[in-house]
Structure 1
Amino acid sequence: MMILGIIITAIAYLIARRISLATRMPLLNPIFVAGAMVVAVIHFTPLSYEAYDAGGSLIVRVLGPIVVVLAVPLYKNKEVLKKYKRPVFVGVFAGIASSLVSVTALVKLFNMDMDILLSLVPKSITNPMAIEVVKMIGGIKELTVIFVAVTGIAGPAICQWVFKIFSIDNDTAKGIALGAASHGVGTAKAVEISDEAGAAASLSMGISGVVTILIAIIVVRIFF
């Protein structure tokens, strides 16, 4: 059954990728469309979630090592990143702060449970890191996976509109924003923009993940 989950996921992604390239619509993100296809297959066929997850979960486990590949554009553009090192770190920490503040404010505003807050804290970091954060601080792993997916899809879907509205033309700035806000999916989008944007996004995603983990652990141990 393990191979079945992998095959279904791969076919769904290939079809979703073709749809995305054919339509060029930001909202038809391959991850979103492929996810919807997999849900439809599980819902409308005899295939159970447990049977699919035997292979689907394997894909999640290999995401961590695959993310290392993003170090290639980082190395190629190391001189550019050295040149903009101050804006890079300011942008990364601004992204982390805005994410944590907005999550806390929304949870308090809508009077949500603490489990929701803890599940939302790692929403802007890559899935392998987010799952480990939830294991350490509490929360609901399944919700975190959903929040991470939604965040990753939303960033690339609206980034061009945001860049246009705020007249952001610098590729390094675009990469910092995408990496800090939308983790691996945002970084993949940044690579499409340019190698420079991809390098900035890789660095931004990595720093955001590490710092978010540290902040989450410290905050939970102090206040909870």
Structure 2
Amino acid sequence: MKGTTSWRAWIVAAACLPGLAMAQKTLSPVNVTAPAYTSHHGGYLISGDFKVDPRIPSIVFPSQPLVAEDVLSVEPVYLAGDDYLVVQECASADCSRASVVRVWHPGGVATEIQNDANRILIKHENKYWIWVKRLPLASTMGCDDCNDQHFYTSFEPFSPPMVLMPSGELAAYNREALLAARTEAPVPVKEQSHEGSTFVVTYEDGSTVRIRRMHADH
């Protein structure tokens, strides 16, 4: 699962997802060639060197593999009412299995954090990617155990790449709607740009995210 491993296996695995198969079966490995937009601060090299490959127009990749002790900064500036921002990483050698690193919903961070809701301390080198999934608004009508939640806050830790699977009582109560949404592709990226050492991505429904990588400048 090291950064030197080809992206080809990951793309082949992702090709099994509904709505993406036809586009990805014949993709060559993803090679990100965006210039390194960098700055220095507090002993870190801060980089906005991320890219959306046009053949996978909903996924943000870092151009260089994230390694242990890197900090991935992901700041959702705005998320549309039914959008969930997801960071996943490979959980198998061929990336056919992925694990959830962090999820945000329009109300804030949904999953467990360390110290900062928008910063992720990378514990090991791996392939990571960032994407947005649209989920149906949760219904709590008639659900005595749902505690009037408006957003899903727990998820299955492992799934295929680019699949987000809510769990818990609220998810069970909305099971049919979630199963129907699972086959829908992630939200495509509409615009991408660099603001200094920050990569800014805007999705088709208006959700906007600012992303940076902080690497210890030894």
TM-score grouping bracket, smaller chain normalisation: under 0.3
- Which has the larger strand fraction? 2
Give the TM-score, by structure 1 length: 0.26
Q: Which has the larger radius of gyration?
A: 1
RCO higher in 1 or 2 (8 Å CA, sep ≥ 6)? 2
| TM-score, normalised by the number of residues in structure 2 | 0.27
More helix by share: 1
